[in-house]
A = this chain, B = another copy of it.
Amino acid sequence: MSSAEFRAHGRQVVDWIADYLETIETRPVRAQVAPGDIAAQLPGHPPEQPEPFAAVLADLDRIVLPGITHWQHPRHFAYFPANSSGPAILGELLSAGLGVQGMLWITSPACTELETVVVDWLAELMDLPARFRSAGAGGGVIQDSASSANLVALLAALQRASAGAVTAGGIQRRHTVYVSSQTHSSMEKAARIAGVGADNVRVVGVDPVTQAMDPTHLRRLIEADVEAGALPTMVCATVGTTATTAIDPVGEIGPVCREFGIWLHVDAAYAGVAAICSELRWINDGVAGYADSYCTDPHKWLLTNFDCTAFWVADRAELTGALSVLPEYLRNQASESGTVLDYRDWQVPLGRRFRALKLWAVIRWYGAAGLRSHIRGHVGLAQEFASWVAADPRFEIVTPHPLSLVCFRPLWTELPVDAANQATMSLLEELNASGELFLTHCSMNGVVALRLAIGAPSTEHRHVEQAWRAIQAALPPT
């Protein structure tokens, strides 16, 4: 593609995106297609001859868009949000345009150094402890996802617990990992990947109301494992669980970890970024005193396109000890000088994009003030939505909702619990099939509830109102 063609098609794509986002509200939120519908419209074989770029754009409209579930839609309330924003999109574009590999410092020093600085900035905005900043023995890095961050945290924990024996000889004894029943499934996935095994993931009970991890139960499980000869290796505490945004009591979990010499990782994938608002900083209570590692996702709720997980570790040597392998073809003077960071040793892949550009662009475009306002707007909308639910006697709110997720359900007062759960799931499917809004569900103490997660940058008061009206209207008349 010539430079002139790139300029022309680049303008078309920029306009295509602007048009898409301007009109996104007119589309059904969840794709209205059946399995195979999209594939059936695509050619079975690759083209032999070149096609014009206009053909790609035409098929994007005709074939791809009907198969898109619109995460940037203002009435996308499912899962957690996947934030996007103008500066992040353009930061991603700049990264693609530069096309550099940041695996080693030497392979593009700015790719590493800008990342270090920007992740330090984010730590400062969230008031994370000094030991997570790059000036000392710790530091931060951008991972592709919290799943990967949880995995590398576990690898560092195994490295520490085994004094390096796992890295050399593999898993040679039973290491146990502690999660709550509400911890994200990626932690079990990490335990599988790391060779710890799903059966060695202990599930700590939670408080039935708050859904937060029970530190007393955690201690009992650890004691039983020690008694049985296992090596308790990592506790994963969650700040803002996926199902309900429960906040595990890190300040009570931490002393247990310290007593038994267990790595404490804090998964704050969704909620962590809320700590940039001083009034929400309490969600990280205990982190400063006890956490060995911490992650949060600017790609969920901080206006930065996926992928952008910020991961911090208090002692980076434990991480790089697990992950650094140095073949001849990667040796270079800068790495051997010990004065640079080589981020390939902080992650699973070797290669890495220049992801810091998008986070840098986001923080500068919005400023700290704008980022706080973004978070506060959604928290405010969620609290208002919760007040509407609370005021309607046909519904109940099922968990605390300190952030921007509200879990609630129709009471179905005449139905036994199984039938009520079925009725809730049918209601959910009816709402989602309408295309008007997209919700997901959770199950707590045997009761199914609806999750309404506010967080798309485009979501305004009217969209939450529309969603509530649609939910109310879908209830059968009493």
Contact = CB atoms under 8 A, between A and B. Distances in A.
Interface string A70-108: 111000000100111111111011101111110001111
B186 A350 contact: yes
20 contacts: A7-B14, A36-B339, A48-B368, A49-B369, A56-B361, A79-B101, A89-B97, A99-B306, A145-B351, A147-B349, A147-B351, A148-B348, A155-B193, A168-B199, A170-B191, A170-B200, A171-B195, A299-B351, A307-B351, A329-B442
Interface in A337-386: 337, 339-340, 348-351, 353, 357, 360-361, 363-370
A117 to B, nearest CB: 5
A72 B56 contact: no
Contact of A67 (B11, B108, B243): B108
Q: Which 5 pairs from chain A and chain B are nearest by CB? A: A195-B195, A170-B197, A1-B86, A67-B110, A10-B14
Contacts of A7: 14-15, 18
A388 interface: no
A114 interface: yes
Interface centre among A10, A98, A357 (most CB of B within 10 A): A98
A186 to B, nearest CB: 6
Copies of this chain, count: 2
Contact of A363 (B47, B113, B363): B47
Given A90-B53, A96-B84, A307-B353, A48 B367 contact: yes
Contacts of A360: 56
B125 A46 contact: yes
A280 B66 CA distance: 39
Given A50-B369, A348-B348, A9 B195 contact: no
B47 A367 contact: yes
Which of the four size classes fits the interface of chain A? 35 or more
Contacts of A6: 14, 17-18, 21, 86, 89-90
A439 to B, nearest CB: 11
Given A92-B92, A101-B306, A368 B443 contact: no
Given A45-B124, A47-B363, A171-B195, A98 B68 contact: yes
A325 interface: yes
B337 A35 contact: yes
A31 B340 CA distance: 14
A196 interface: yes
A144 B94 CA distance: 19
A312 to B, nearest CB: 16
A22 interface: yes
Nearest to A198: B168
Interface centre among A37, A49, A50 (most CB of B within 10 A): A50
Nearest to A364: B51
Given A31-B109, A69-B106, A87-B1, A97 B16 contact: yes
A204 interface: no
A478 interface: no
A160 interface: no
Contacts of A323: 189, 192-193
B114 A42 contact: yes
Contact of A349 (B1, B90, B145): B145
B351 A306 contact: yes
A121 B46 contact: yes
Nearest to A85: B1
Given A6-B90, A9-B90, 18 more contacts: A2-B86, A6-B17, A6-B89, A17-B93, A17-B98, A31-B108, A39-B117, A45-B121, A47-B368, A53-B365, A63-B110, A88-B96, A89-B96, A89-B97, A185-B327, A186-B325, A192-B323, A198-B325
B166 A325 contact: no
Contacts of A262: none
Nearest to A95: B92
